[in-house]
A and B are shown apart, each in its own frame.
Chain A
């Protein structure tokens, strides 16, 4: 896609258009709630949007709803309501913010959230399963788990032609077909294979673009902040997966980044240190958290978050339209498995990223709320540091609960980390 826009309009376009799309999306959700329309609750690691969009089902991502309460600094109200309902402080904050939203009848800072007509989840996160059980009990919502077998041991992924892979693929395909049948029952619509192919075409464009986008950030200076800007891109990647608007957005975003790369246009702040982020962002102090790094010239150029929270779109898997249902199953298997690898076996990924993106440091941010992402980080860091010698920082907080976010303590540790990086540079005789 080419554009006729003036260069000054091109830079920053992705953020502007992403924010507008986000508003449109929530307007649709709000409208659905107010008119009593059907909707599907889904999750970022394997949303199966391709099926749901074929049935014109608006998709609701409770994870995104929940993080929005944190970004908008009202999460504590929702968490407290869920805790009053019986949920422990040790339960995932996303779950509790959603429980709070449901208790409030769908009232949310971004608009009214409809009740689910269906929930679709994968096993990429076990909490997805427990979460969907809550809606089952609250509303008797039909729940469909797409069970995706992951990597059995680090470095032993199997591929097409291997009997173990084929067994996994067949299992996923059976489930995808069962989901289609369930959607037909719930919506009263017949599955339209041609419409499905069109949806897959859009997803192919988005996946291809997502991979290009991540690759483009190898540029020096980097083109976008993998923590802040990319969260906008992630929202569009999930909410608009399989749509014309989503495909167009990502083509235009790639165009913007190629334009910046060709002209050496980086981010607003001078890039002194190139960082990788491992974990989930600190949404209760989202902007400030990033500033703690950018104040020192630290820029996040990639993250495992952009891998797993995109459902493994980083692989750029493209569906075969000649055999669309089987290909969707294969794509979901490979992509969601990759998303899981980015959490459980992330060292292989990080070593590769560190080299490709010329990294100065890695920030590990385990959070109380998410044991899926956080449990292996301390051990992973030990081994990553031993293997690469690259500096890293380990800071714990939360993605939702400000009670466990200590900005002052974080700042102390982040400052010390950058002082260490600066000393290393000086010692190495490199210009800072």
Chain B
């Protein structure tokens, strides 16, 4: 799947709060809790079903100090992982 050129949206059934800069996600399907670090929280905030993943990577690259290639790989891996757990939906799935 080429996540880079896809828009991504949060699964609307996921309950979450951002507390002190870190998101806590609760999946109603299994009641599992997913705590996110600050970078992952920022990516989560940007998953608005409007921006494509490469646009999110650009924003994150401007805001956090890391190699662009690292940010790209980590962001795509993170989004794919969220999708595999049913926390987000990629593209028009």
User: Do A and B belong to a common assembly?
Assistant: no
What is B's interface to A at a CB cutoff of 8 Å? none
What is A's interface to B at a CB cutoff of 8 Å? none
